[in-house]
Amino acid sequence: MIGPPLPPSLDRSPSVFDRVFHQLRRALSWRARRKTPPLSEEERRRGDYEARLLAALGPPRCYLLMCLGGDWPRLAPAFDPPPGADVLAAFREFVPSRLADAPSALAGAARLLTGDLSGADAIIDNLPEERRVLIGGPGRCASMPFNALAAGLPLPISLARLETWLASSPQQAALRRWLEQHRAGLRWDEIAGVYRYSEPSESDAARV
């Protein structure tokens, strides 16, 4: 996995990825400061790889990459763009190759985090029946799509509480309504890895 293991239970707030991101950065900084024997070529390459991914992709997309199994250069096919490559473009090309056996919600998160807003529909349609899934009970990747939705969309506070996102719940219906009402004005900011909202023009509204 990239960096140290994540805690078995994830924080439910939309900032969960930021906390993971800072944990990883601290781990990398500590490794650089400590007095140890010289790193092997593989360890040095791994450290460079981690730092490059974190800098270019940010926490949610790195987390997705972990859940899709593409975070270790020895994997085949591995996500390991060469130095100087457009990491975001490489990420967009790589992710679809890992979706054949991905659960529907995780596949939705992959689409959402590559700029396809229809991924949000897939995540909302596949909300879990049990609250423990939302907080990482069955495994951290089980909750990843729902954290991605909370972190990636500018949801109002009333809708951003993950522990209420259950199948057939009022919150599921409210999430669907919010997405339909705001879909035309949501724009993907690839550098930041989030969707931003602005009032849609008449032509934008007509396309939805």
**How far, in Å, CA of 204 to CA of 207, rounded?**
5
Considering only 39-43, 55-59, 97-101, which range has the smallest mean pLDDT?
39-43
The pLDDT of residue 135 is above 90: no
**How far, in Å, CA of 87 to CA of 81, rounded?**
6
**How far, in Å, CA of 42 to CA of 29, rounded?**
18
The pLDDT of residue 72 is above 80: no
The pLDDT of residue 168 is above 70: yes
pLDDT confidence of residue 125: 97
Banded model confidence at residue 195, pLDDT cuts 50, 70, 90: very high
- pLDDT, greater one: 139 or 169: 169
Domain boundaries, the chain: 16-207
End-to-end CA distance of the chain: 39
SS3 of 144-194: HHHHHHHHHCCCCHHHCCHHHCCCCCHHHHHHHHHHHHHHHHEEEECCCCE
The pLDDT of residue 2 is above 80: no
Please check whether residue 166 is in contact with residue 128, taking contact to mean a CB–CB distance below 8 angstroms.
Answer: yes
pLDDT confidence of residue 166: 95
pLDDT confidence of residue 93: 92
Banded model confidence at residue 13, pLDDT cuts 50, 70, 90: very low
Q: What is the mean pLDDT of residues 14-32?
A: 56
The pLDDT of residue 154 is above 90: yes
pLDDT confidence of residue 70: 64
**How far, in Å, CA of 208 to CA of 195, rounded?**
16
